[in-house]
């Protein structure tokens, strides 16, 4: 009976496959090792450019980045080749055993037929059939192993970076009472005025009464001729509400590009194609209660999301997107 694992080509074939698997595994290890450093550099760059997602911290961003950019293809290829090597000997032994049983049983059946008596030497050494069966069985073995790892590759695909970041945001809880990005945030009181309530008074209700921030007013802010209400929670995170002086609270603010450059379009076209949004994140004793107080002020609230059982409430109003987290969670 043919024992193909005793042949030199079979042994060297395993050595070659093992060498390829080792090289691929080494590359996967190197890529994985550098991935954390790349993620940390990317986060540091976003922080330096004021581009980071304020509802994430560095650890959460690194987890999402490494999950999405992990060298899964290299790892699964190395594991697939290692599996082929580990299972080749028992798999080939099983193939040989099954083929031998089929040949022997058929030979016994044929020997009982009168027309083949004295002519069994023709069937005693079916080399071509034997080799063809082994060839097809080896291919089938390889296809099954590769198919399993290809299926695992697509089944375990991590998806998009956006989805990974959304998942990480689910466990986020702010450490400070107020987080602003970019800091400080600048708003024109006129943009939040309603028919019945001036914008300055409405924002005072939002930031001071509903969210518990402290307020101080700076007259003639930076010699601009306009007042500025500054809200904070005792840290360097601040919200500036600019009020045009001397024209009535309902009047259109006549700020200039020199005194209030943040209210004007940037120098480059990429700054002009979409409105600028400030992100405000609050940590409140009761997020839903604070949300209801803000709603009562009458300011415009788009994309509002809030329930009594939510761990956070959020909405967009003008040039600010607001997230209120419940400190009880």
- Least confident range from 9-23, 95-109, 173-187, 274-288: namely 95-109
Query: Which pLDDT does position 250 carry in this prediction?
Result: 46
Considering only 188-192, 237-241, 274-278, which range has the smallest mean pLDDT? 274-278
Residue 50 has pLDDT above 80, yes or no: no
DSSP state of 253: P
Predicted pLDDT at 21: 86
Label residue 203 by pLDDT band (50, 70, 90): very high
How many Å apart are CA 4 and CA 204, to the nearest integer?
A: 85
Work out the average pLDDT over 291-295: 91
Per-residue confidence (pLDDT) for residue 214, from 0 to 100: 93
pLDDT digits 0-9 by tens, 124-165: 555 666 777 778 888 888 889 888 988 888 887 777 887 787
- Residue 245 reports pLDDT greater than 80: no
Tell me the pLDDT tens digit for each residue of 85-115.
888 888 888 887 887 777 666 666 555 555 5
Q: Distances from the Cα of 16 to the Cαs of 8, 10, 321, in angstroms?
A: 12, 10, 58
For the chain, list the strands marked E by DSSP.
178-181, 185-188, 214-218, 227-232, 238-243, 278-284, 302-305, 312-317, 320-326
Q: Could you tell me if 81 and 182 are in contact, meaning their C-beta atoms sit under 8 angstroms apart?
A: no
CA–CA dist 316, 314 (Å, integer)? 7
pLDDT at res. 2: 47
Domain covering 178-326 in this structure, CATH number:
3.10.180.10
Q: Indicate whether this model's pTM tops 0.85.
A: no
Place 273 in a pLDDT band, splitting at 50, 70 and 90. very low
The mean per-residue pLDDT over the stretch 27-42 comes to 86
1 pLDDT tier (thresholds 50, 70, 90): very low
Average pLDDT over residues 30-59: 82
Residue with more model confidence, 323 or 51: 323
Q: What is the pLDDT of residue 204?
A: 92
Name every residue whose Cβ is closer than 8 Å to that of residue 293 and which is 6 or more positions away in sequence.
Answer: 205, 209, 210
The whole-chain average pLDDT of the chain stands at 80
Q: For CATH 3.10.180.10, list the domain ranges present in the chain.
A: 178-326
Q: How confident is the model at residue 213 (pLDDT cuts 50, 70, 90)?
A: very high
**How much of the chain exceeds pLDDT 90, in percent?**
12
Strands (E), 130-254: 178-181, 185-188, 214-218, 227-232, 238-243
182 Rama sector, left if φ>0, alpha if ψ -120 to 50, beta otherwise: beta
């Amino acid at each position: 009976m043919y024992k193909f694992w005793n042949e030199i080509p079979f042994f060297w074939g395993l050595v070659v496959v093992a060498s390829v698997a080792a090289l691929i595994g080494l590359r996967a290890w190197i890529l994985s090792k550098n991935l954390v450093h790349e993620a940390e550099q990317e986060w540091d760059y976003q922080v330096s450019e004021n581009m980071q997602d304020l509802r994430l911290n560095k650890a959460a961003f690194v987890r999402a980045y490494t999950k999405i950019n992990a060298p899964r293809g290299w790892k699964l290829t190395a594991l697939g080749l290692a599996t082929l090597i580990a299972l080749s000997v028992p798999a080939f032994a099983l193939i040989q055993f099954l083929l031998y049983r089929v040949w022997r049983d058929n030979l016994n059946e044929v020997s009982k037929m009168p027309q083949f008596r004295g002519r069994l030497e023709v069937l005693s050494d079916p080399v071509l059939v034997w080799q063809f069966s082994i060839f097809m069985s080896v291919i089938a073995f390889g296809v099954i192993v590769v198919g399993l790892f290809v299926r695992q590759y697509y089944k375990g695909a991590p998806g998009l970076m956006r989805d990974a970041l959304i998942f990480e945001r689910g466990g986020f809880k702010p450490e400070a009472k107020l987080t602003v990005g970019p800091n400080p945030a600048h708003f024109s009181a006129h943009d939040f005025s309603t028919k019945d309530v001036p914008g300055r008074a409405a924002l005072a209700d939002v930031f001071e009464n509903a969210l518990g921030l402290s307020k101080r007013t700076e007259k003639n802010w930076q010699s601009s001729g306009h007042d500025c209400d500054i809200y904070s929670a005792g840290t360097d995170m601040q919200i500036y509400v600019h009020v045009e002086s001397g024209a009535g609270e309902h009047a259109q603010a006549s700020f200039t590009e020199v005194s209030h450059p943040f209210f004007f379009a940037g120098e480059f076209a990429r700054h002009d194609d979409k409105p600028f949004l400030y992100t405000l994140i609050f940590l409140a004793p009761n997020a839903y209660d604070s949300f209801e107080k803000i709603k009562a002020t009458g300011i415009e609230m788009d994309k509002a999301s809030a329930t009594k059982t939510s761990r956070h409430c959020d909405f967009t109003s003008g040039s600010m997107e607001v997230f209120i987290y419940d400190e009880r969670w």
